[in-house]
Amino acid sequence: MPLKIIEHFDSSFTLAPEAQAALFSLLRGESFLSQLSAQIEGKTVEFTELLFQPVPYTTATPKGMPAEFEKYHADANYIIINVPPNFMFQAKIFKPSRLCAIYRRLDHDN
Protein backbone atom coordinates (compact mmCIF):
# COMPACT_ATOMS: atom_id res chain seq x y z
CA MET A 1 0.00 0.00 0.00
CA PRO A 2 1.74 3.20 -1.13
CA LEU A 3 1.90 6.29 1.04
CA LYS A 4 -0.31 9.18 0.03
CA ILE A 5 1.62 12.43 -0.09
CA ILE A 6 -0.44 15.44 0.86
CA GLU A 7 0.62 18.58 -0.95
CA HIS A 8 -1.78 20.92 0.80
CA PHE A 9 -4.07 20.47 3.80
CA ASP A 10 -6.67 23.12 4.56
CA SER A 11 -6.62 23.52 8.34
CA SER A 12 -9.10 26.38 8.43
CA PHE A 13 -12.36 25.92 10.29
CA THR A 14 -15.18 27.99 11.71
CA LEU A 15 -17.11 27.21 14.85
CA ALA A 16 -20.69 28.28 15.40
CA PRO A 17 -20.78 31.00 18.09
CA GLU A 18 -22.75 28.85 20.53
CA ALA A 19 -20.41 25.87 20.01
CA GLN A 20 -17.36 28.09 20.52
CA ALA A 21 -18.85 29.60 23.70
CA ALA A 22 -19.62 26.13 25.07
CA LEU A 23 -16.13 24.84 24.24
CA PHE A 24 -14.38 27.89 25.71
CA SER A 25 -16.43 27.51 28.89
CA LEU A 26 -15.29 23.89 29.23
CA LEU A 27 -11.66 24.75 28.47
CA ARG A 28 -11.74 27.49 31.14
CA GLY A 29 -13.48 25.31 33.72
CA GLU A 30 -11.91 25.39 37.17
CA SER A 31 -11.62 21.61 37.52
CA PHE A 32 -10.07 21.26 34.05
CA LEU A 33 -7.56 24.04 34.77
CA SER A 34 -6.70 22.27 38.03
CA GLN A 35 -6.07 19.03 36.14
CA LEU A 36 -3.79 20.80 33.67
CA SER A 37 -1.99 22.55 36.50
CA ALA A 38 -1.34 19.24 38.24
CA GLN A 39 0.14 17.82 35.02
CA ILE A 40 2.70 20.63 34.74
CA GLU A 41 4.06 20.61 38.29
CA GLY A 42 1.44 22.90 39.81
CA LYS A 43 1.99 25.84 37.46
CA THR A 44 -1.06 28.06 36.93
CA VAL A 45 -2.39 28.21 33.37
CA GLU A 46 -4.89 30.26 31.42
CA PHE A 47 -6.64 29.47 28.15
CA THR A 48 -5.42 31.80 25.37
CA GLU A 49 -8.55 31.24 23.24
CA LEU A 50 -6.27 29.93 20.47
CA LEU A 51 -7.41 26.73 18.78
CA PHE A 52 -6.07 24.90 15.77
CA GLN A 53 -6.77 21.77 13.83
CA PRO A 54 -3.84 19.31 13.76
CA VAL A 55 -2.41 18.88 10.27
CA PRO A 56 -0.50 16.05 8.59
CA TYR A 57 3.26 16.07 9.15
CA THR A 58 5.08 17.55 6.17
CA THR A 59 8.35 19.36 5.61
CA ALA A 60 6.39 22.62 5.84
CA THR A 61 4.57 21.52 9.02
CA PRO A 62 7.01 19.25 10.90
CA LYS A 63 5.17 19.66 14.22
CA GLY A 64 1.78 18.60 12.87
CA MET A 65 0.29 22.05 13.35
CA PRO A 66 -0.24 25.08 11.13
CA ALA A 67 3.06 26.96 10.83
CA GLU A 68 1.70 30.08 12.54
CA PHE A 69 1.23 28.11 15.78
CA GLU A 70 4.71 26.52 15.88
CA LYS A 71 6.06 29.51 17.84
CA TYR A 72 3.93 28.35 20.81
CA HIS A 73 5.37 24.84 20.58
CA ALA A 74 8.90 26.19 20.99
CA ASP A 75 8.01 28.60 23.83
CA ALA A 76 8.20 27.15 27.36
CA ASN A 77 5.61 29.71 28.51
CA TYR A 78 2.90 27.85 26.58
CA ILE A 79 1.47 24.35 26.53
CA ILE A 80 -0.54 22.77 23.75
CA ILE A 81 -3.15 20.14 24.50
CA ASN A 82 -5.55 18.02 22.49
CA VAL A 83 -9.07 19.17 23.27
CA PRO A 84 -10.69 16.23 25.10
CA PRO A 85 -13.16 14.40 22.83
CA ASN A 86 -15.90 14.65 25.47
CA PHE A 87 -15.53 18.47 25.37
CA MET A 88 -15.95 18.42 21.59
CA PHE A 89 -19.07 16.26 21.98
CA GLN A 90 -20.55 18.41 24.77
CA ALA A 91 -19.99 21.56 22.67
CA LYS A 92 -21.59 19.76 19.69
CA ILE A 93 -18.49 20.17 17.52
CA PHE A 94 -18.17 17.34 15.04
CA LYS A 95 -16.18 19.04 12.26
CA PRO A 96 -13.28 19.28 12.62
CA SER A 97 -13.06 16.04 14.56
CA ARG A 98 -9.92 17.11 16.46
CA LEU A 99 -8.72 20.42 17.86
CA CYS A 100 -5.79 21.54 19.93
CA ALA A 101 -5.88 24.37 22.47
CA ILE A 102 -3.05 26.62 23.61
CA TYR A 103 -2.61 27.58 27.26
CA ARG A 104 -0.19 30.07 28.75
CA ARG A 105 1.73 29.35 31.94
CA LEU A 106 1.22 32.26 34.31
CA ASP A 107 4.03 31.52 36.76
CA HIS A 108 6.65 29.97 34.50
CA ASP A 109 10.25 30.28 35.68
CA ASN A 110 12.24 31.82 32.85
Is 110 a member of any domain? no
Strands of the sheet containing 78-82, edge to edge, are 45-52, 100-105, 78-82
Range of the domain at 64: 17-105
Is 9 a member of any domain? no
Is 59 a member of any domain? yes
- Cα–Cα nearest to 33, from 90, 76, 42, 50: 42
- Give the tens place of pLDDT for each residue, 21-53: 999 999 999 999 999 999 888 789 999 999 999
- Dihedral sign computed on CA atoms, order 73, 61, 87, 90: positive
Question: Which residue has better confidence, 12 or 76?
Answer: 76
Is 7 a member of any domain? no
Is residue 8 pLDDT above 60, yes or no? Answer: no
Tally of domains within the chain: 1
